[in-house]
C-alpha cells in the first residue's frame, strides 16, 4: 500500500496548531474563528425526533425511509425550486464530507481521469480525486477547461472559503458546457440557505438545468442550516441514474445514515422557523465582525453568503494569522484553500455571541 503522504497532501489544520496554542494563552481565552463548527443548540423539534427514534435495534436502509425521501423531495421542491422530483432523485448520505472524499472512488474514477474544482476551494475535492488515483484540476472558469479525460466537475456556490455566489447565468453556462462534453456535475450547495448580500440559486432550479436533472447532482447538508454537524446528516438530489448507481455501491459498502438521524432529518427539513432563527444569529455576528475587521484595516471580498468573511490586509496570510493569534483570535489562512488565497484569511462567525463580542473588542 502506498504511504498516505505519497497519495494525499498534508492535513492543513495541523499547521495551525502552534498559532492555536498562542491564541489559547491569551489572558481572556481564545476566540476560535478558524472553523465552521456550529456552537448553537440543536433545535428542540430535531432533538425530540431523534430521541423518539432512539429505540431502533434494526439496520436502517441505505436509501432511507419513504418518509425521509418524501421530506427531501418536498424540501427541494419548496426551497430549491426543483420540479417533478421522485424518490429516485434523492439519496441520503453520512455527512457531505464523506461524500466529497469518496465520490470519485464510488464513481469508479482512477488513473487517466480528471476531477475539476474551483481554484479556491474546500480541500476535500482534491483529496477525493487523489484517493481515487485521478488527477485533480483547478479552474477559474469551468467552460475554459480542457474536457479530455474530465469525468467530474465540482461547482461550489456559495463558496467555501470565499462566500462567492454563482449567478443563474454562470451556473447555466457551466451545466450546458458539462452536458455538451459528457462531464458529470456535482454542485456543493451546503451553504445555500445562508445568503446575505445575494440569494443563492441551486443547480436544480429550472432556470439553470432546464427542468432536466440529466448529468447533475446537488449536495446538501443540515450541518450549517440546522446546527447538525454532529449528526452527519446530508443528502443528494438530482440525476436518478447516477444516484441509482451510487445507491447500489453504498449498499455494498454499508453506508447507512442511522435511523434516529433519519428521523431527525425529517423533522429538520419540515421546520423553517429554526432556520430563520439561526440565520438571525449569524447575521448579527457577521455584521459585528465585518465592521470590526474593516475598522482594523481589513478588506472583505465576496462573502455575500456562507458562514465566513474572506478578509485581507494585503499581506501574507500567515502574517495575519500570527498577528491575530497574539490577540487570542484564531482564523484560517487562505492558502489552506489554494495558492490563490495566500494573502487572505477566512474568518468564521460560528462562535458564540460572547466570543464574537470579545473578538470585536480586541479588534477595535
- The CATH number of whichever domain residue 223 belongs to comes to 3.40.640.10
Q: Are residues 171 and 86 in the same domain?
A: yes
Q: Report the pLDDT averaged over residues 71-84.
A: 97
Q: What is the percent of the chain where pLDDT is above 70?
A: 98
Domain hosting residue 285, numbered range: 4-41+274-363
Final residue before a domain boundary, out of 269, 300, 322:
269
Which grid coordinates are listed for 59? 439496520
Q: Same structural domain for residues 191 and 244?
A: yes
At 308 the three-state DSSP class reads strand
Q: What is the arithmetic mean of pLDDT over 198-209?
A: 97
Task: Kindly state the helix (H) or strand (E) to which residue 17 belongs, with its residue range.
Answer: helix 17-24
Q: What is the pLDDT of residues 125-181, one digit of tens each?
A: 999 999 999 999 999 999 999 999 999 999 999 999 999 999 999 999 999 999 999
CB atoms within 10 A of CB 110: 13
Answer yes or no: do 80 and 183 share one domain. yes
Picking from 285, 284, 341, the residue whose alpha carbon sits closest to that of residue 312 is: 341
Note whether 247 and 311 are same-domain residues.
Answer: no
Q: Looking at the 3D structure of the chain, how many domains does it have?
A: 2
Alpha carbon distance 18, 34 (integer Å): 13
Q: Do 53 and 22 lie in a common domain?
A: no
pTM given for the model: 0.95
Identify the domain boundary among 228, 243, 269: 269
Which one-letter DSSP state was computed for residue 70? H
DSSP string, 220-267: EESTTTSS-GGGT-EEEEE-HHHHHHHHHHHHHHT----HHHHHHHHH
Residues 80, 220, single domain; the answer is: yes
What is the distance between the alpha carbons of residues 173 and 169, in angstroms, rounded to a whole number? 6
DSSP 3-state percent helix, strand, coil across the chain (nearest 5): 45, 15, 40
Note whether 30 and 48 are same-domain residues. Answer: no
Q: pLDDT tens digits, residue range 22-66?
A: 999 999 999 999 999 999 999 999 999 999 999 999 999 999 999
Mean pLDDT of the chain: 96
With a cut of 90, say whether residue 12 has pLDDT above it: no
Shared-domain flag, residues 225 and 79: yes
For 358, list phi and psi in degrees, rounded to 5. -70, -40
Amino acid at each position: 500500500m502506498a504511504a498516505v503522504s505519497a497519495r494525499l497532501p498534508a492535513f492543513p489544520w495541523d499547521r495551525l496548531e502552534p498559532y492555536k496554542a498562542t491564541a489559547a494563552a491569551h489572558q481572556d481565552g481564545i476566540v476560535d474563528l478558524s472553523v465552521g463548527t456550529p456552537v448553537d443548540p440543536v433545535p428542540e423539534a430535531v432533538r425530540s425526533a431523534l430521541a423518539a427514534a432512539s429505540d431502533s435495534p434494526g439496520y436502517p436502509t441505505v436509501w432511507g425511509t419513504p418518509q425521509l425521501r418524501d421530506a427531501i423531495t418536498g424540501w427541494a421542491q419548496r426551497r430549491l425550486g426543483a420540479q417533478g422530483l421522485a424518490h429516485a432523485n434523492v439519496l441520503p448520505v453520512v455527512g457531505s464530507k464523506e461524500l466529497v472524499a469518496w465520490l470519485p472512488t464510488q464513481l469508479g474514477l482512477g488513473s487517466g481521469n480528471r476531477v475539476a474544482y474551483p481554484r479556491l476551494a474546500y480541500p476535500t475535492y482534491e483529496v477525493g480525486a487523489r484517493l481515487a488515483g485521478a488527477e485533480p484540476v483547478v479552474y477559474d472558469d469551468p467552460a475554459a477547461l480542457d474536457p479530455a479525460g474530465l469525468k467530474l466537475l465540482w461547482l461550489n456556490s456559495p463558496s467555501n472559503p470565499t462566500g462567492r455566489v454563482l449567478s443563474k447565468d454562470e451556473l447555466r453556462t457551466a451545466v450546458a458546457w458539462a452536458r455538451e462534453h459528457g462531464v458529470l456535475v456535482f454542485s456543493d450547495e451546503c451553504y445555500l440557505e445562508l445568503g446575505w448580500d445575494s440569494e443563492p440559486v441551486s443547480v436544480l432550479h429550472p432556470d439553470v438545468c432546464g427542468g432536466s436533472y440529466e448529468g447533475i447532482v446537488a449536495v446538501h447538508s443540515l450541518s450549517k442550516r440546522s446546527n447538525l454537524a454532529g449528526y452527519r446528516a446530508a443528502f443528494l438530489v438530482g440525476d436518478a441514474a447516477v444516484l441509482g448507481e451510487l445507491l447500489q455501491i453504498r449498499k455494498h459498502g454499508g453506508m447507512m445514515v442511522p435511523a434516529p438521524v433519519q428521523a431527525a432529518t425529517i423533522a429538520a427539513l419540515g421546520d423553517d422557523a429554526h432556520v430563520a432563527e439561526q440565520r438571525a444569529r449569524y447575521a448579527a455576528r457577521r455584521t459585528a465582525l465585518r465592521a470590526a475587521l474593516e475598522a482594523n484595516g481589513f478588506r472583505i471580498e465576496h462573502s455575500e453568503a456562507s458562514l465566513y468573511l474572506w478578509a485581507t490586509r494585503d499581506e501574507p496570510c500567515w502574517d495575519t494569522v500570527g498577528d491575530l493569534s497574539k490577540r487570542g483570535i484564531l482564523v484560517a489562512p487562505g492558502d489552506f484553500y489554494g495558492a490563490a488565497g495566500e494573502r487572505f484569511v477566512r474568518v468564521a462567525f460560528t462562535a458564540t455571541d460572547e466570543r464574537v463580542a470579545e473578538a470585536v473588542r480586541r479588534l477595535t
